Amino acid sequence: MIDIREIIIMPEKQQLPLNILRARGETRVFLEIGFGNGEFLVHLARQNPDAVFWGVEMSRSCVLRALKRIRREELRNIFLLCGDARFILKECLPKESLDGIYMNFPCPWPKKKHTKRRVSSGDFPSEIASVLKKGAFFELVTDEEWYGMEVRNVLAAHPLLELTEWKINPPRPVTTKYERKWMEMGKRIFLSRLQKKEAESSVGYRCLGRTEDVHIRVPGKGSLKKFVNDIHNMGGEKGDALWVYKRFYESAEGSAYIIETVAGDGSFEQKFFIQIVEREEDALIKIAPYSSPFLTDSVRGALEGMAHLIETHYLSIVSSCAASLEQPAGKAFSQ
Ligand SMILES: C[S@@+](CC[C@H](N)C(=O)[O-])C[C@H]1O[C@@H](n2cnc3c(N)ncnc32)[C@H](O)[C@@H]1O
């Protein structure tokens, strides 16, 4: 039986960007975004034992379902990442590293307030273009014609990508659970395939920043115990990002507090712990070392929001400075 640690890769415990070749030398590497129950990924991996297949999926239950399938088939060329592809591509994968990306029946996010979650939105097209090698492809199938056309048109307009196929009801090597569902309902399937035209001028990766680098110092002294007690269920929001402070834990000597925090960026939620350390003349706020969320807007917001609350409610300021980000310089918090 294959060890699950060989299949589910935890980016927070790995050196980033990930070694996506997984010690197979010069091999082809593919990614499926939103693999659901994993049957498409497993089919590809079975058919192409010399290639490596990565899957990224936001739903933990899907990751576990796919894991069962992979172990049953004893496949050693599949690796799974649990998280939001919008962040995983940016954080974990080197530029110019993939031979192909598949996306089967992604949610089309039809509501206006959810448009940011579409593949066609924000910097997702650039992230896709960035991680593909020259000549590599991005393929998306959907049952929604308007979404297929939107993805096709937006990605085809990207300077590094060109449209190579647009097909209705294409022949497919294997059907997915959602595909069968839509076909049984008599729906049509729309496929777009794009190719990366040229290599980018620079290589490397484009991470959001490391949480361990962000320390916020709030000068002053006050009752932090009362503070952490009072902020239970408080939080804030900024655009698509929102965060809530939950339970707190106190260190034995009472000079440090750990606050469980839940933060979301659109549909991507993370739970982590913020640590506040009381020092001689200030309080230091940082992400507790054993929790490693991606440094998204909501995680930054939670840290900066905490600093703002401490500063305005609980510290008698001993210095005239406002809360300052020690390193790297960060944005001022606004509500
Ligand atoms: C409609 S299902 C399709 C599942 C599978 N591809 C199929 O065809 O049966 C869409 C899947 O994409 C996943 N998903 C949606 N947005 C995602 C994102 N940003 N990153 C990773 N997975 C995502 C969802 O959790 C869900 O499992």
Q: What is the pTM of this model?
A: 0.79
134: CA distance to ligand 1 center in Å?
Answer: 26
Q: Residue 183: which residues within 8 A CB-CB, separation 6 or more?
A: 175, 189
94: CA distance to ligand 1 center in Å?
Answer: 22
103: CA distance to ligand 1 center in Å?
Answer: 8
> Which ligand 1 atom sits closest to the C-alpha of 84?
20
Q: What is the pLDDT of residues 54-64, one digit of tens each?
A: 999 999 899 99
pLDDT of res. 25:
72
Does residue 322 surpass a pLDDT of 70?
no
> Which ligand 1 atom sits closest to the C-alpha of 88?
20
Does residue 165 surpass a pLDDT of 70?
yes
Lowest mean pLDDT of 165-169, 199-203, 244-248, name the range: 199-203
302: CA distance to ligand 1 center in Å?
Answer: 27
Q: Are strands 190-196 and 132-142 parallel, antiparallel or unpaired?
A: antiparallel
309: CA distance to ligand 1 center in Å?
Answer: 37
Q: Is 125 in the pocket of ligand 1 (CB under 6 A)?
A: no
Q: Residue 260: which residues within 8 A CB-CB, separation 6 or more?
A: 245, 246, 247, 248, 271, 273
Structure tokens of 241?
């990002």
Task: Select from 272, 269, 252 the least CA-distant residue to 260.
Answer: 272
Which CATH fold topology does 4-196 show? Rossmann fold (3.40.50)
Q: Yes or no: say if 179 and 43 are a contact pair by the CB < 8 Å rule.
A: no
pLDDT of res. 206:
61
Task: Select from 139, 130, 22 the least CA-distant residue to 80.
Answer: 22
Q: Is 143 in the pocket of ligand 1 (CB under 6 A)?
A: no
Query: Best of 31, 32, 35 to mutate for ligand 1, by most ligand atoms within 8 A of CB?
Result: 35
Parse the chain into domains and list their residue ranges. 4-196, 211-327
38: CA distance to ligand 1 center in Å?
Answer: 10
Lowest mean pLDDT of 15-29, 222-236, 238-252, name the range: 15-29
- Band of residue 65 on the pLDDT scale cut at 50, 70, 90: very high
With both helix axes pointing from N to C terminus, report the angle between 85-92 and 124-131 in degrees, rounded to the nearest 10. 40
Q: Is 38 in the pocket of ligand 1 (CB under 6 A)?
A: no
Q: What is the pLDDT of residues 71-110, one digit of tens each?
A: 999 999 999 999 889 888 988 899 999 999 999 999 999 8
Q: Yes or no: say if 211 and 292 are a contact pair by the CB < 8 Å rule.
A: yes
Does residue 329 surpass a pLDDT of 60?
no
Q: Is 282 in the pocket of ligand 1 (CB under 6 A)?
A: no
Q: Is 180 in the pocket of ligand 1 (CB under 6 A)?
A: no
With both helix axes pointing from N to C terminus, report the angle between 60-72 and 39-47 in degrees, rounded to the nearest 10. 30
Measured CA angle at 34 (ends 51, 151), to 5 deg: 100
Average pLDDT over residues 125-131: 93
pLDDT of res. 257:
94
Average pLDDT over residues 146-157: 96
> Which ligand 1 atom sits closest to the C-alpha of 85?
20
The owner of tokens 């899907």 is: 62
pLDDT of res. 170:
95
Please give the full DSSP string across 131-181, using - where no structure is assigned. HEEEEEEEEEEES-HHHHHHHHHHHHTSTTEEEEEEEES---SS--HHHHH
Does residue 15 surpass a pLDDT of 90?
no
- Band of residue 202 on the pLDDT scale cut at 50, 70, 90: low
Structure tokens of 332?
């001022």
Query: Best of 37, 39, 53, 59 to mutate for ligand 1, by most ligand atoms within 8 A of CB?
Result: 59
pLDDT of res. 335:
30
180: CA distance to ligand 1 center in Å?
Answer: 15
pLDDT of res. 315:
73
Q: Is 36 in the pocket of ligand 1 (CB under 6 A)?
A: yes
- Band of residue 116 on the pLDDT scale cut at 50, 70, 90: confident
